[in-house]
Amino acid sequence: MGKHKRSAVGGLEHLLASGWEVVAVVAPPPDDRAAEAQRLDLAARREGLPLVSDDDLYAAIADPAAATVDLTALDAVFSFLFWKRIRPPLIELGASGCLNFHPAPLPDMRGLGGYNVAILEDWPEWGVSAHFVDSEFDTGDLVRVDRFPIDRARETALSLDFRSQRKLLDLFRWTADELAAGRELPRTAQGDGRYVSREEFEALRTVRPGDPPELTARRIRAYWYPPHDGATLDLGGGQVVTLLDRPLLAETAEAYRDAGVQP
C-alpha cells in the first residue's frame, strides 16, 4: 500500500526480487503529473500484480468467498507512504503485523509537514521510521528510526524529501529482509510525540510583517516543493504569491536549462 514515489516502487521491486509473493497492491489513482518511475500502479501492472483499493481489501476480509484476492495466510501488510488510516481488521491480517514506513523521526514528528517544520525550526537532524500500525496515525510501536544530519544552511523541503526517500527505502529493504529471514522485529513503545495538523501546516507557511530576515529565509526553504505553494505573502484582494530566494531561482533556471527550456 503506497504512493506514487520512486521509493515506493523500489520497495515493491525489492519484495519481488527477494522472493516475496505479493498478492495485491494498493496504489493511488493514475496521475499524469507523476513520472513513470514514480507510478506504483504501473510498476504493479508490469509485474502482473492485482491492483485493488483499500475498500476491496476490507471487503475481501469480510467475505473471502467473493474476494478477487486471497488474503489468507499473509505474512505482512506493508504501508509505504500510504495516505489513509489503516483500520482493523486489516491491521491484524499479517502474521508479522502491519508495518508503516514514515518519512520522519518518530515520535518527534507525526502527521504531515515534518520537512517544513524541521527546516523552519532549524532542527540539526532528521530521520525516517519503521513502526507497527495501530488504530491511530503514526503512534504504533517502533521498529527502527534512522537519523541523519540536516544541511541547516541549504536544505529545502524538496531536498529533504529526496534524502528521506532514499533512507526510507533502505529501511524498508532491511525490514523486509529481516522478516524474510524469520527474525523477529524489535518493538518499542513510542510515548508522547508531536502531531502537525493541516491548520498548523498552512499557518506556518505565511510570511508576516516584522518577521526576522533569517526566519523568512528559512520559511522560503521550508516550503520549497514545486508545484505546491511555497512560503506565501498575501498581497490583499485575494492575491497570494509564493516567495523564492536567489539560490532557488538559480536552481530553477538550471532545471529549465537541463530540460531544454532556453531562450
Which residues lie closer than 8 Å to 217 by C-beta, 6 or more apart?
245
Q: Cell 475481501 sits at which residue?
A: 60
Reduced to 3 states (helix: H, G, I; strand: E, B; else coil), residue 52 is strand
Average pLDDT over every residue of 56-62 = 94
**Can you give the residue range of the structural domain that contains 174?**
6-195
pLDDT in tens, 157-211: 999 999 999 999 999 999 999 999 999 999 999 999 999 888 999 899 999 889 9
Could you tell me what percent of the chain has a pLDDT over 90?
86
Domain boundary among 162, 195, 228: 195
- Pairing assessment for the beta strands 51-52 and 25-26 based on DSSP bridges: parallel
pLDDT in tens, 208-241: 889 999 999 999 999 999 989 999 998 889 899 9
Question: What is the per-residue pLDDT for 94?
Answer: 92
pTM of the predicted model as reported, rounded to 2 decimal places = 0.93
Q: Which of 247, 239, 196, 241 is nearest to 217 (CA)?
A: 247
62 and 190 inside one domain: yes
71 and 107 inside one domain: yes
User: Is residue 128 a part of any domain in this protein?
Assistant: yes
| 30, pLDDT greater than 90 | yes
Instruction: Provide the strand spans (E) within the chain.
Output: 25-26, 51-52, 77-80, 98-102, 110-111, 125-132, 142-149, 195-196, 232-236, 239-242
Q: Which of 181, 182, 232 is nearest to 204 (CA)?
A: 232
Question: What is the per-residue pLDDT for 258?
Answer: 93
The C-alpha atoms of residue 113 and residue 198 are separated, in whole angstroms, by 8
Q: Which long-range contacts (CB under 8 A, 24 or more apart) does 88-94 make?
A: 88/135, 89/58, 89/61, 90/54, 90/57, 90/58, 90/61, 91/133, 91/134, 91/135, 93/61
pLDDT in tens, 91-110: 999 999 999 999 999 999 99
The count of domains in the chain is 2
> pLDDT class for 68, splitting at 50, 70, 90?
confident
The C-alpha atoms of residue 119 and residue 116 are separated, in whole angstroms, by 5
Angstrom CA distances, 2 to 11, 84, 156, stand at: 9, 10, 24
187 and 103 inside one domain: yes
